[in-house]
Structure 1
Amino acid sequence: MDNLTHFNSQNRSKMVDVTNKEVTSRTAIATGQIKMHPETLNRIHEGKIKKGDVLAVAQVAGIMAAKQTSSLIPMCHLIPLTGVDIHFEDDNESIITCSAQVKTKHVTGVEIEGLLAVQTALLTIYDMCKAIDRGMIINDVHLVEKMGGKSGHFIFDEQDKN
C-alpha cells in the first residue's frame, strides 16, 4: 500500500504539494444512476415536471459542480478545467444514467471533479422530481476511466469489486 501523502509531520491533514509535478493532459470519466418510478421517467421525457427541463438543469448543475470541487472537497486542488461534458441515457423504464467527462491540462487529476459532477447532476434530478417521487435511489457512482498523470491509465473493472 502506498504511503499516505495527505498528512504533515504532526500527523494532521494537509493539501499535497504538487508544485514540482509535470503538467500533462488529464481526463476522468465518472458515471452513476438514479432509479425512479416509471411514471417519473415518463414525465421527464414528456417535459411535465413543474420545475422545468430536468435534464437541462441537471446538466448545468453537474458542470457547475465540477468547477466548484475545490470549494467543497477540502484537500482538492483548484484546477483549471478545459472541458466538462455531461451525458444522460435512460432505459425507458426507471433508470437514468449520468456520465461526466472532465478534462484539464494541469499537474493533478480531475477524478473528484468528475465524480462530483455526476453526484450533483443526479441530486438535481432528485430535487426536481422529489415532489412526485421521494423514493428515488442514487447508486453505482464510480470512476469509469482516468487518463494522464503519473499513475497512468485506469479503467474500472466490475470484477475487481466482487
Structure 2
Amino acid sequence: MNKLTHINNKGDAQMVDVSDKSITTRIAVAKSVVLMQPETLALITSDQHKKGDVLAVARIAGIQAAKKCTDLIPLCHPLMLTKVSVALTANTEESSVEIIATTKLDGKTGVEMEALVAASVAALTVYDMCKAVDRGMVISQTQVLEKSGGKSGHWKI
C-alpha cells in the first residue's frame, strides 16, 4: 500500500486550539545556508553586486516573511511578534552565507514556523538576487536550532 494513501482528505484540517495554554515568553532560532561559488560570495561581501546590498535586502525580506507566516502556512496562528532578527554571515571557507533568524513573543503558541520562514525567505532572497551570476547555488540546512517557552521548555540542538 502506498504510504500517501493514509492522508486524510476529509477537509477537517483545523488550527490547534491554544486557548487553554499559558502565556509564556517563546523564542525560536532557525538557520538556513546558501552555498555558492567563491566569486559570487566575493561580489556579495565586496558590495559589488549589480542589484545592490544582497545581505541587507535578504535581512529585510526575512523579517517581513516572519510577520507574514500566517499568510504562507495555512494553519499557523497569527502572532504578535515582539522580536524578529535575521543575521547573515559570509563564510569564505565554505563559500556560503549562513542565515540565523530569531523570533520572540509572549503568547500561547511557539514561534518556530516564523523563524523557519524568516531564514528560508532570506535564503531565497540571496538566491534570487544572485541567480544571474551563479545558477548552481544550493539552499540547505534549513532547521530549527533552538526553542524555548511553553510546556515543553527549552530545546536546543
Secondary structure at the aligned position of 2:82 is classed as strand
Kindly report which structure 2 residues correspond to 1:93-104, keeping only aligned pairs within 5 A, or say none: 93=93, 94-104=95-105
Q: Deviations along 1:16-56, whole A, 9 cap, x unmatched? A: 11112111100000011000000000000111111110000
Distance 1:91 1:80 in 2: 33
Which letter does structure 2 place at the counterpart of 1:148?
A: G
> What SS does structure 1 have at the residue aligned with 2:27?
strand
Partner SS state of residue 29, structure 1: strand
Residue 145 of structure 1 aligns with which residue? 146
1:79 alignment counterpart: 79
Count of residue pairs the alignment pairs up: 147
Summarize the alignment of residues 109-148 of structure 1 with structure 2, pairs less than 5 Å apart: 109-148=110-149
Per-residue CA deviation, residues 95-120 of structure 1 (Å, 9 max, x unaligned), is 11100110000100000000000000
How many angstroms apart in 2 are the aligned matches of 1:75 and 1:150? 20
- What is residue 91 of structure 1 aligned with on the other side? 91
Cα offset for 1:11? 7.5
**Where has structure 1 moved over 2 Å in runs of 4 or more?**
none
1:123 and 1:49 map into 2 onto residues whose CA distance is: 16
Which sections of structure 1, spanning at least 5 residues, go unmatched? 1-9, 157-162
Moved more, 12-21 or 117-126: 12-21
Give the counterpart letter for 1:53 in structure 2.
D
Q: For residues 62-84 of structure 1, what are the alpha-carbon distances to aligned partners after superposition, in whole Å with 9 as ceiling and x for unaligned?
A: 00000000010011000100001
Q: Secondary structure at the match of 2:97?
A: strand
| TM-score w.r.t. length of structure 1 | 0.88
State the TM-score, normalizing by the size of structure 2: 0.90
The answer for the alignment partner of 1:31 in structure 2 is 31
Distance 2:19 2:107 in 1: 11
- How far is 1:12 from its partner? 2.1
